[in-house]
Amino acid sequence: MFASALPRRAGAGFKPEHFADILAEPQPVGFFEFHAENYMGAGGPPHAQLGRLREDYALSVHGVGLSIGSMQPLDRDHLARLRVLCDRYQPESFSEHLAWSTHDSVFLNDLLPLPYTEATLARVVEHVDQVQTVLGRQMLLENPATYLLFAESTIEETVFLAEIVQRTGCGLLLDVNNVFVAATNHNLDPHDYIARFPLAAVREIHLSGHSESVDDVGAPLLIDSHDTPVKDPVWALYQTVLDRIGPVASLIEWDNDVPAWPVLRAEAISAQKLLDAATRRRAA
């Protein structure tokens, strides 16, 4: 099985509107990540652009629609499409979310939360196994940004993820912004969450911005909106992770109100500086 192998550098989420700027000069990023579902057409400019990026950069395929946390069987047609995409681009990594998004035949286009029970654990493990078998590669599973909890949950999220890793051999995509968002939303300490997280399985990190709202009783409710620069407490949390595990592939995600390329690039450079410092500390 092909193990996930992104360079231990900063990367950026690829947006078509940045393509010309990206090609204009060598960019200080180690890889680009793209959403699988937006490249499931047969041809056209999307594939022309990816093919060109592939010549110069490592690629990460990030699925957003597989619905791994669904209680119903995985969509075999969709798995086949992912297989075609991975065969075509031979990406260094494939990742998906600990979430669900399809029910019956309706695709809800959001990453919906899952109660953590023995039953859902068994289902997710079965699905991750199936994905890895069909794709012939290790996948990375991402921790979710959640807004609510379930009365029936009996397992801590970090334990739930560790169990999946142990039973399937998948890797983890640690979204540090999601950790901060979810911890705030559930009145928990994000550093405590990181301390409990199975960090040895982390192969990629996500960094992004969030926005602030309030819940039913006026408490802070953060939204994982990917529409701002990475916020200071998230950078601090990222630094903590790097201190623990050293440099790891780190992606800046910016999906709403997408800025001009130089802004996204500057965010990636900020991440790269922290990665470089982590590399120097490892060498020292």
Partner 1 sequence: MSATFQSAFASGLFGTTPAPVGLAAWNTATPERRYGVYRNNVTASLTTALASRFPAAENIVGPDFFRAMARAFVAAHPPRSPVLLAYGDEFPDFVAAFAPARDLVYLPDVMRLEIARGQAYHAADIPPLDPTVLAAIDPARLGALVFTPHPTLSILSSPYPMVTIWAMNAGERPLVPIDDWRDEHALVARPHLAVEVTPLSPGGAVFFRRLTTGATLATAAESAMSEHSGFDLSDNLAVLLRSGAFTAINQDDSDENPNHA
Partner 2 sequence: MKTTIATLALAGSLASALAAIATPATADDSKEKCYGIAMKGQNDCAAGTGTTCAGTSKIDYQQNVFKLVPKGTCVSMKTPTGHGMLEPGMAPA
Binding at 253: pick from partner 2, partner 1, none (beta carbon under 5-8 Å per type): partner 2
Q: Which residue from 248, 213, 206, 244 is spatially nearest to 7, judged by alpha carbons?
A: 248
Is 127:167 a contact under the CB 8 Å cutoff? no
Residue 148 within binding range of partner 1, rule CB under 8 A: yes
The only residue of 5, 28, 73, 110 in contact with partner 1, by rule CB under 8 A = 110
**Residues interacting with partner 2, by CB under 8 A?**
16-17, 19-20, 35, 37-38, 44-46, 48-49, 52, 62, 64-65, 97, 109-111, 145, 208, 211, 213, 223-227, 253, 255-256
Residue 158 within binding range of partner 1, rule CB under 8 A: no
- Cα(175)–Cα(208) distance, integer angstroms: 8
Q: Which one-letter DSSP state was computed for residue 77?
A: H
At 162, which amino acid appears? A
Q: Restricting to residues 44-73, which ones interact with partner 1 according to CB under 8 A?
A: 44-48, 64-67, 70-72
For residue 157, give every residue at least 6 positions away whose Cβ sits within 8 Å of its Cβ, in sequence order, or none: 116, 143, 182, 193
At residue 269, the 3 state secondary structure works out as: helix
- Cα(203)–Cα(191) distance, integer angstroms: 19
Helix axes 118-135, 76-89, angle to 10 degrees: 40
> Which residue is listed with tokens 């022309």?
48
CB of 21 to partner 2, least distance (A): 10
User: Cβ closer to partner 1: 73 or 246?
Assistant: 73
CB of 70 to partner 2, least distance (A): 16
Binding at 157: pick from partner 2, partner 1, none (beta carbon under 5-8 Å per type): none
The interface mask with partner 1, positions 177-216, x = CB under 8 A, is --------xxx-------------------------xxxx
Binding at 284: pick from partner 2, partner 1, none (beta carbon under 5-8 Å per type): none
Q: How far is CA 160 from the centre of its chain?
A: 17
User: Which tokens is 100 given?
Assistant: 């669900």
Binding at 19: pick from partner 2, partner 1, none (beta carbon under 5-8 Å per type): partner 2
User: Cβ closer to partner 1: 3 or 188?
Assistant: 188
Is 173:208 a contact under the CB 8 Å cutoff? no
CB of 257 to partner 1, least distance (A): 11
CB of 50 to partner 1, least distance (A): 13
Residue 102 within binding range of partner 1, rule CB under 8 A: yes
Span interacting with partner 1, options 25-33, 88-96, 101-109, 246-254, rule CB under 8 A: 101-109
Is 31:7 a contact under the CB 8 Å cutoff? yes
| Residue 213 Cα distances to 20, 209, 222, 234, angstroms | 36, 14, 6, 17
